[in-house]
Amino acid sequence: MASVPNPPPRQIQLAVSASIFRDGKVLIVRRAKPLAKGLYSLPGGRVDFGETLHQALHREIYEETSLKVEIIGLAGWREILPGPANNGHYLVLSFSTRWIGGEPRLNDELDDFRWIAPIEIGAFSTTEGLEEIIRAAENLLP
């Protein structure tokens, strides 16, 4: 019997993402599932109830990529409104981070990763606003 997907929540969902910088490059990942299947984006996901933003960011990065990072600062935010498929309403806070350990091992939510020079982002199909978020995150680097 095929499983029926859960309907999206009727309230806004808080999420986090990270521009992870290493040796002058940033990590981008390709989403393997909806909402953004086939598009490159940043590692991240929903904040659990009772979790701080930084705890959620560390957890999501580790769950999706097995990487450990140092958080530098908040680079910006994106609001994702429900579309024709009613995919839910999200507020994504995006952080600038620096890689400190591990090598990418993707979970089942992702199917590819690339370490790229930030200027190369235009060569990829990405989620909306990704180039601007990466640029803002890069500007926070010491």
Print pLDDT tens along the chain (142 aa): 455 556 656 789 999 999 999 999 999 999 998 878 999 999 999 999 999 999 999 999 999 999 999 999 999 999 988 776 667 788 999 999 999 999 999 999 999 999 999 999 999 999 999 999 999 999 999 9
Helix/strand/coil for 91: strand
Q: Which residues pair with 101 in a beta bridge?
A: 68
CATH number, domain with residue 60: 3.90.79.10
Dist. CA 29–CA 39, nearest whole Å? 8
pTM of the full predicted structure? 0.90
Identify whether 2 is part of a domain.
no
* Count of structural domains, the chain: 1
Identify whether 30 is part of a domain.
yes
Dist. CA 17–CA 91, nearest whole Å? 11
Identify whether 14 is part of a domain.
no
Domain extent, residue 59, equals 23-139
Dist. CA 81–CA 87, nearest whole Å? 8
